[in-house]
A = this chain, B = another copy of it.
Amino acid sequence: MKLEPQWIVGFVDGEGCFHVGISKHADMKAGYQVLPEFTVVQHERDVQALHALKAFFGCGVVRSNHGNRMAYRVRGREHLLERIIPFFEEHKLKTKKRVDFQKFRKIVRMMREDRHLTPEGIEEIRRIKNQMDRGQSR
């Protein structure tokens, strides 16, 4: 399955998710772990489309999700910074998911500067994350 950039944008506008998890983690300097991830979930019958995304971006994994759902997932910070984020900067999302992407990008860039290792940084990341989740209803 060969994917064109605009198909990917349309598919991700529909099915993609830019998510930032924040969880308590005693080993981390600021007491919290920040886990950004880009995911696309599909019914297992369309796992081919997820493998095609993985091949296109050259990173990430395809794993089973809940029940008969599969997910393409990118968590690696370098992969997010060097592959996922530049792609969606060049090929802009058309739905409000673009706003989530921009906030996601901001958080990943803050992490590049190690700001998630300070309490102030965690507070700022949490504030941005809360703005992202507000728009999500699924």
Give the interface of A toward B (CB within 8 A).
1, 3-15, 42-43, 45-46, 48-49, 52, 68, 94-97, 135, 137-138
User: CB distance B45 to A1 under 8 Å?
Assistant: no
Minimum C-beta distance from A135 to chain B (A)? 6
Q: How far is the CB of A3 from chain B (nearest CB, A)?
A: 7
Partner of A7, one of B6, B42, B43, B138: B6
CA distance A12 to B5 in the complex (A): 15
Could you tell me the distance between the alpha carbons of A1 and B6 in the complex, rounded to whole angstroms? 14
What's the number of copies of this chain in the assembled complex? 2
Given the complex, which residues of B lie within 8 Å of A10, measured CB to CB?
6-14
Of B5, B11, B96, which is within 8 A of A13 by CB? B11
A-B contact pairs, 29 of them (CB 8 A): A1-B94, A4-B6, A6-B6, A7-B9, A7-B10, A7-B94, A8-B10, A9-B10, A10-B10, A10-B12, A10-B13, A10-B14, A11-B13, A11-B14, A13-B14, A14-B14, A14-B15, A15-B15, A42-B95, A43-B96, A43-B138, A45-B96, A45-B135, A46-B95, A46-B96, A46-B97, A49-B94, A49-B95, A52-B94
